[in-house]
Structure 1
Amino acid sequence: MPIETALLAYRIAAWVTGVGLLVLVLIAMPMKYIFGQPELVAVVGVTHGFLYMIYIVCTLLLAERGRWKPLDALLILIAGTIPVASFIAERRVTHRVRAGRSPVS
């Protein structure tokens, strides 16, 4: 798989994971803890977990293609667990990969 294909897969996974995490944190969790309706957390939480696993695979494939340092890959993986961070990481990774640079340093 060429690096541009790996980058595209990573970008899609980062956005989908980021949106899923925002829905979980901003909509589903308030519905559970404020309004006592846990059903949405059950669905969105499992969905986000599945999407995060895809994000991990896409990130690791891109890291392998780009010959990233393990710490760089780890930091980008962690970005998928922090609301909004996956969007910021995606922009940074995209610019740096296209410039042929490391995604973090």
Structure 2
Amino acid sequence: MTTRTEDQPPAATLRGPLQRFRIAAYVTGVGLLGLLVVMVLRYGMDMPGPSAVYSPIHGVLYMIYLVLTVDLALKARWSVKNAVLVLLAGCVPFVSFAVERWVTRKVTAGEKL
């Protein structure tokens, strides 16, 4: 079992940033699935309208995810490599859901990423 290192902040101090990250990861994951639907409509059915409306919304949601993930990464003192991997998880369908659960387990256990 991994124990909390002295340079890792206690999980209680990360409760707010973790909760914001979890919400952003979920919204980003759902948003990415929505983007897949509008891309199928755009390129598979020649319907560019939904994509023109939804794509900018998805972009804003992803930028919010980036900011909140960096906030948690800095406060939890993650390694740069793991922070980048978590940031990239918002680009792959379904991965943000799995990574959100992994990050939540690690942070609540007081383990460093």
Structure 1 and Structure 2 fold alike (TM over 0.5): yes
CA offsets per residue over residues 5-63 of structure 1, 9 Å max, x none? 000000000000110100111x1011111211111111221111100100011001101
SS of the aligned residue for 2:46 comes to coil
Aligned residues between the structures: 101
- 2:32 aligned with 1:21, yes or no? yes
Moved over 4 A (4+): none
- Report the RMSD for the aligned CA atoms in angstroms: 0.9
Match of 1:66 in 2: 76
Question: TM-score normalized by structure 2?
Answer: 0.86
SS of the aligned residue for 1:80 comes to helix
Match of 2:3 in 1: none
- 2:91 aligned with 1:81, yes or no? yes
Query: Which residue of 11, 18, 23 maps to 1:7?
Result: 18
- 2:94 aligned with 1:49, yes or no? no
Report % sequence identity.
Answer: 46
- Unaligned 5+ runs, structure 1: none
Larger radius of gyration: 2
Question: TM-score normalized by structure 1?
Answer: 0.92
SS of the aligned residue for 2:85 comes to helix
